[in-house]
Amino acid sequence: MIGRTKGGMNSKLHAVTDALGRPIRLFLSAGNVSDYIGARALLASLPDAKWMLADRGYDADWFRDGLKERNIEPRIPFQRNRKDIIPHDATTYRARHKIENMFGRLKDWRRVATRYDRCPVVFLSAIALVATVLFWL
């Protein structure tokens, strides 16, 4: 699953999770850029999977093609302004709540929710530390 959330001080956290909603890849981008920046950064390092869940913000032909090249079936709903409608499996898409729950659990830590760290590297390190404690220990 891939998703993103807005952080403080105008940043976006993009994350790839496993099927249980545990983060395995994190990327921090500027808040005023498209979600495609995070998708492009995470595409090369995606783990082997049967399918990928993502929200409408990641609906792009080049992203879908990149997933198919890696033998990953995209389960991404189409954007409302798309001319050609691409069907998606709504039943599997319901599992996307796990990544939203992961972002919610990360924001339970005040340091992450309020972004005390001004430096993006330190902020991403704090997120990685919190994710390790919450999901992997």
Tens of pLDDT, residues 49-94: 998 998 888 888 999 999 999 999 998 888 888 888 888 788 888 8
pLDDT at 1: 66
pLDDT at 91: 85
- The larger pLDDT score, comparing residue 90 to residue 20, is at 20
pLDDT at position 14 over 70:
yes
Domain spans of the chain?
2-136
E-strand ranges in 8-90 read 11-17, 23-30, 51-53, 73-75
pLDDT at 117: 84
pLDDT at 9: 63
pTM: 0.84
Give pLDDT tens digits for 80-137.
Answer: 888 888 887 888 888 888 999 999 999 999 988 888 888 888 999 999 999 999 998 8
pLDDT at position 8 over 60:
no
E-strand ranges in the chain read 2-7, 11-17, 23-30, 51-53, 73-75
pLDDT at 71: 94
d(CA 86, CA 89): 10
pLDDT at 126: 92
Architecture in CATH of 2-136: 2-Layer Sandwich (3.30)
Task: Quote the DSSP letter at residue 99.
Answer: H
pLDDT at 7: 60
